Amino acid sequence: MFYYLLKYVLLGPLLRLVFRPRIEGLDNVPASGAAIVAGNHLSFSDHFLMPAILKRRITFLAKAEYFTGPGVKGRLTAFFFRSAGQIPVDRSGKEAGQAAIREGLGVLAKDELLGIYPEGTRSHDGRLYKGKVGVAVMALKARVPVVPCAMIGTFEAQPPGKVIPHIHPVAIRFGTPLDFSRYDGMENEKAVLRAVTDEIMYAILSLSEQEYVDQYAAVAKAEQAAEKKAERRRERGFRGRR
């Protein structure tokens, strides 16, 4: 009930009014039956803009940190995501990934839409990063189509770290559903999972026209953080010598 209250009364109309998103290819999202919508992830706003414009309900796999934050803000955020039917995903290890896959397959088994960000985290610089193979595992095991989706302009509207978004043109593009039935029974083949994931990421790239980086976003973020930390140490050392 809270999901539909947000969509049609509280948040959906506000988002449409403020962002006036341009929608392309909405008919590519199946009107019924199970399917995965796989998109790029540029902003916290992505979680709300896509569901606001879709005719069907969509359930996202959301990072567990949204459900475990401290204080009043953390409790409100957790309440919001749980009430909207989103599923927490622990990203701390391999077994955690298997749990996320089981949760996602449960959604698909009910003939619902499942939303996934194959990059695993928001892009910190607006580029598209290498996809994780969980999306391929679910697509092959559930034998469902994958609809590629591109969020455009949300990084500029609300980049990571910005709490209140500002007005910026936004577009949401849905591509032709991808059929992977040719790989039936091959969901345990690593090469197949990589090939399927790369095909999904290429479809997203074609829609978003982002720059592609053949590296996991989490790794790139960690490297950037390490570089900044090293730079701060060098600056402190330089000031100490002066």
Residue with the larger pLDDT of the pair 84 and 137:
137
Q: Helices in the chain by DSSP H: which ranges?
A: 2-5, 12-19, 46-53, 71-83, 94-109, 134-142, 154-157, 190-208, 217-241
Q: Are 89 and 62 in contact (CB under 8 A)?
A: yes
Asked if 132 contacts 63 with a C-beta cutoff of 8 angstroms, the reply is no
Q: What is the pLDDT of residues 102-116, one digit of tens each?
A: 989 999 999 999 999
> What average pLDDT does this structure show over 144-149?
98
Residue carrying structure tokens 């829609």: 207
Q: Say what the pLDDT of residue 166 is.
A: 78
**pLDDT at site 242:** 60
Dihedral Cα 189, 192, 193, 194, nearest 10 deg: 120
Q: Using pLDDT thresholds of 50, 70 and 90, give the confidence band for residue 9.
A: low
Contact 132, 216 (CB under 8 A): yes
| Mean pLDDT along residues 176-199 | 96
> Could you say which DSSP state residue 44 is in?
T
Q: What is the pLDDT of residues 42-83, one digit of tens each?
A: 987 787 788 888 888 899 887 777 777 788 777 877 777 776
Which token pair is 122?
């928001």
Which of 36-40, 69-73, 98-102, 218-222 shows the lowest mean pLDDT across its residues?
69-73
Within 10 Å of residue 140's Cβ, how many Cβ atoms?
21
What does residue 87 show for φ and ψ, rounded to 5 degrees? Answer: -110, 125
Mean pLDDT, all residues of the chain: 86
Q: Which helix (H) or strand (E) holds 58?
A: strand 58-63
- pLDDT, greater one: 156 or 10: 156
pLDDT at residue 93 in the model: 62
Where is pLDDT greater, at 76 or 17?
Answer: 76
Predicted structure pTM score: 0.86
Domains of the chain: 2-215 (3.40.1130.10)
Question: What residue type is assigned to position 75 of the chain?
Answer: R
